[in-house]
Amino acid sequence: MATGSQDNLDHLIKELERETREEELRQLKANAKVRWITPTVMAALLPLLAGFGIWVLGEIKQYSEGYRALKDKAGLERDKEALLKQKDSLNIEIGTLLKLKEHYAEQAGRLGQEVEAKQEIMDKTYLRAVFLGSEFEYALGHIKGLEPGPDRKALDAIKVDIMTLPKESAARLAKLLQRYDLMGTIINASRGSADLFQQAVRLIPASGWATRLRPMPSGSILPGRNVMFSDGPDGRRYYDITEGRFLTKDEAKEAQ
């Protein structure tokens, strides 16, 4: 009985010693892990730790920039597509505007030609009217240049004297006096009409070159021609009313 107790005690002492050694070993290992982190080691590790941190930050920054770049690229692609659509729309609008410009340019060209043609007709009509009016006034001027005719009292006296003439002679002289009275009436009315005609002619919107032309009596400048003339820096020019054009220098050499 005593021998069995002794054996158990020895076994317990051995277990306790084994556990004590294992605990000492664990403490030694723990102390060894902490003991190597000395100021010298820390001083040596700080640059490595700093470099590692900078590298990590750089990677994070690059990742962030790359992510933003991808987002920006996607946004740029969308903007590009929108701009391309706008470009296509603008190209269509520009094409339409160019066609409209061409259309209106053609219309303006035709309108300009029509206006020039109508202005030419208007200028020729104006010059004919001015020339005919001047011819009419010229003819009336010849009549006006004659000596004044007998007044009413003298005419009445002539009518009394007619009664003393033979019947046939009295009839002829009476008709002559009637024509004279009619001619006086016509001349007075014609002078008024001539003034109104000239006022109406001045209302025609003729070109400047046409309004500068001055009329002369038929054949007074060039035989057989109805012409008007104007003076300018290049000398005197002659316009033929009948032909509706300016005379050449050779044609104008015979001008008096």
With CA atoms as reference, report the closest residue to 136 among 176, 189, 179, 177: 189
Q: Is residue 111 part of a domain?
A: no
- Run of H or E including 247: none
User: Do the beta carbons of residue 204 and residue 125 sit within 8 Å?
Assistant: yes
Q: Is residue 155 part of a domain?
A: no
The per-residue pLDDT of the chain, averaged, comes to 77
- Please, what's the b/e burial string for 168-197 (b: 16 or more CB within 10 A of its CB; e: otherwise)? eeeeeeeeeeeeeeeeeeeeeebbeebeeb
Q: Is residue 231 part of a domain?
A: yes
Q: How many domains does the chain have?
A: 1
Q: Is residue 239 part of a domain?
A: yes
Phi, psi of 230 (to 5 degrees): -145, 150
**Predicted pLDDT of residue 12:** 76
Residue 253's domain comprises 212-256
Q: Fill in the DSSP letter of residue 148.
A: P
In sequence order, what are the beta bridge partners of 246? 239
Tens-digit pLDDT profile for residues 192-244: 787 888 888 888 888 999 999 998 888 777 888 888 889 888 888 889 988 98
In the block, residue with structure tokens 């200028």 = 123
DSSP-assigned states of every residue in 177-236 = HHHHHHHHHHHHHHHHHHHHHHHHHTTS---HHHHT-EE--TTSSSTT--EEEEEETTEE
- The span from the first CA to the last CA of the chain, in angstroms, equals 182
Q: Is residue 216 part of a domain?
A: yes
**Predicted pLDDT of residue 67:** 61
Which residues does the chain have with pLDDT short of 50?
1, 34
- Give 190's contacts (C-beta < 8 A, 6+ positions apart): 136, 140
**Predicted pLDDT of residue 66:** 63
Q: Is residue 171 part of a domain?
A: no
**Predicted pLDDT of residue 239:** 92
User: Do the beta carbons of residue 158 and residue 255 sit within 8 Å?
Assistant: no
Q: Is residue 246 part of a domain?
A: yes
